[in-house]
């Protein structure tokens, strides 16, 4: 299905640059961005574990903090 959108030039320029940088077509890039923003539909083929795993993405800073503690303690134990 085709859709015509009007977006600001600066956003369009960023879209083109990011698409080129990642090597993904503009169509695929926009579809991916939209897909990330929309909640899964009930008819979606997304597996349940993927939905729940995606919910954990906000834990990344906490995971990095814990890993830093582990790394620091590992260095302290080795010396």
Q: What pLDDT shows up at residue 73? A: 81
35 shares its domain with 50: no
72 shares its domain with 55: yes
2 shares its domain with 32: yes
CA distances from residue 24 to 6, 9, 14, 43, 50 in whole angstroms, order as listed: 21, 20, 14, 26, 23
The total of structural domains in the chain comes to: 2
SS3 47: coil
Q: Give the structural domain span for 10.
A: 1-39
Cβ pair 13, 26 in contact under 8 A: no
Q: pLDDT at residue 26 above 80?
A: yes
Q: What pLDDT shows up at residue 37? A: 84
77 shares its domain with 59: yes
Q: Give the integer Cα–Cα distance in Å for 15 and 33.
A: 10
**Can you give the pTM of this predicted structure?**
0.48
Q: pLDDT at residue 61 above 80?
A: no
Query: CATH no. for residue 19?
Result: 1.10.1220
Express each pLDDT in 43-57 by its tens digit: 555 565 555 555 566
Q: pLDDT at residue 78 above 80?
A: no
Q: Give the integer Cα–Cα distance in Å for 20 and 59.
A: 30
32 shares its domain with 61: no
């Amino acid at each position: 299905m085709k859709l015509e959108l009007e977006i600001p030039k600066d956003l369009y320029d960023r879209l083109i640059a990011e698409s080129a940088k990642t090597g993904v077509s503009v169509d695929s890039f926009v579809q991916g961005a939209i897909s990330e923003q929309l909640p899964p539909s009930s008819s979606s083929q997304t597996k349940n574990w993927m939905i729940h795993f995606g919910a954990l993405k906000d834990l990344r800073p906490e995971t990095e903090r814990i890993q830093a503690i582990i790394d620091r303690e590992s260095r302290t134990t080795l010396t």
